[in-house]
């Protein structure tokens, strides 16, 4: 499992660097964006996959986003950028794209379904995947922004 955790962290870090590049942060922030993404994404992976834990993806995403937010706030004075500079690219690898994809696939199939049983099945897939995607996104945004407000003095001091 350790190899899977390291692999998950590596790919999240690479994705965060790519997402960081399009927002053009200072060069010193790339490492911290990658670090936060690796920690957050691998934490979510552990919370979901570790024996004895097995949390749902929604709860694991909220906790991981909160940890990313706390780390971003406390690392922001060192990077000399706002916490959001490292926070947002680190969250982007955790966006639940597969749930959004399955949701729209379920919607398309329910529209094209012939018969009530088939329609109900595909509409269920649309609703389940869509609501899961929505709650993951809401949880990630909430979990990541709470530390910015909790540690307001540290967060706003970083850019002074």
Q: Note if the pTM is more than 0.85.
A: yes
Domain total for the chain? 1
The reply to whether 35 falls in a domain is yes
- In percent, how much of the chain has pLDDT > 90? 76
pLDDT at residue 153 above 90? no
Whether residue 56 lies inside any domain: the answer is yes
Residue 50 falls within a domain, yes or no?
yes
Write the CA distances from 124 to 116, 130, 134, 135, integer angstroms: 12, 10, 15, 16
The model's pLDDT over 6-24, given as tens digits with 9 standing for 90+, comes to 999 999 999 999 999 988 8
* Cβ atoms 105, 55 nearer than 8 A: no
Name the band, by pLDDT with cuts 50, 70 and 90, for residue 33: very high
Residue 134 lies in a domain: no
How do residues 68-118 score in pLDDT, each as one tens digit? 999 999 998 888 888 888 899 999 999 999 999 999 999 999 999 999 999
For residue 91, being part of any structural domain is answered with yes
Euclidean distance between CA atoms 96 and 100, whole angstroms: 7
Determine, yes or no, domain membership for 116: no
Helix (H) or strand (E) holding 115, with range, is none
Does a structural domain hold residue 111?
A: no
Domain that includes residue 80, residue range = 2-96+140-157
φ/ψ of 158, rounded to 5, equals -60, -30
Rounded to an integer, what is the distance from CA 159 to the centroid of its chain? 25
């Amino acid at each position: 499992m350790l190899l899977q955790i390291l692999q998950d962290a590596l790919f999240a870090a690479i994705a965060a660097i790519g997402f960081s590049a399009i927002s053009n942060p200072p060069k010193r922030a790339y490492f911290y964006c990658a670090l936060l993404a690796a920690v957050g994404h691998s934490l979510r992976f552990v919370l979901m996959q570790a024996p004895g834990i097995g949390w749902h993806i929604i709860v694991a995403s909220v906790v991981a986003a909160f940890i990313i937010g706390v780390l971003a706030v406390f690392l922001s004075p060192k990077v000399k950028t706002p916490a959001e500079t490292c926070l947002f690219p680190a969250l982007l690898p955790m966006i639940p794209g597969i749930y959004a994809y399955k949701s729209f696939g379920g919607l398309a199939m329910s529209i094209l379904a012939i018969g009530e049983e088939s329609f109900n099945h595909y509409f269920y897939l649309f609703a389940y995947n869509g609501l899961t995607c929505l709650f993951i996104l809401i949880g990630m945004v909430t979990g990541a922004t709470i530390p910015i407000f909790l540690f307001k003095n540290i967060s706003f001091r970083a850019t002074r």
